């Protein structure tokens, strides 16, 4: 369960046991790739409506630690379609990468 929304957990744990050091958090690009793949898979597996609905609980985990993300999360959980959700995700990527608010 912990890996849903944080698929990097396995590499982080493996790296810590091997080196005793924590890995840097995933970059925004890594987070975006993962959340978009998860969304696409969710829709393919469960259909548009249910796939989008079930993804809503995972956005907090994917974007944990990003200052100022809360308004975007609210928009994501209200988004009714795949296209709208992807548009919001693209907007998040543009804004947060432009502001360098997340590790690049």
pLDDT one-digit tens code per residue, 35-89: 999 999 999 999 999 999 999 999 988 998 888 899 999 999 999 999 999 999 9
Q: What is the pLDDT of residues 1-29, one digit of tens each?
A: 667 778 888 999 999 999 999 988 888 89
What are the extents of the domains in the chain?
A: 27-98
Per the confidence metrics, is the pTM higher than 0.85?
no
Q: Which fold has domain 27-98?
A: 1.10.1200
**DSSP assignment of the chain, as one string?**
-TTTT-TTHHHHHHHHHHHS-PPPPPPHHHHHHHHHHHHHHHHHHH-HHHHHHHHGGGHHHHTTT-TT-HHHHHHHHH--SHHHHHHHHHHHHHHHHHTT-S--
């Amino acid at each position: 369960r912990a890996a849903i929304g944080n698929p990097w957990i396995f590499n982080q744990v493996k790296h810590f046991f091997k080196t005793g050091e924590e890995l840097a958090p995933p970059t925004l690009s890594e987070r975006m790739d993962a959340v978009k793949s998860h969304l696409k898979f969710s829709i393919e597996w469960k259909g548009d409506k249910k796939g989008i609905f079930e993804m809503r609980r995972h956005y907090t985990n994917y974007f944990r630690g990003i200052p100022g993300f809360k308004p975007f999360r609210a928009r994501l959980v209200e988004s009714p379609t795949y296209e709208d959700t992807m548009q919001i995700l693209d907007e998040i990527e543009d804004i947060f990468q432009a502001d360098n608010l997340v590790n690049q």
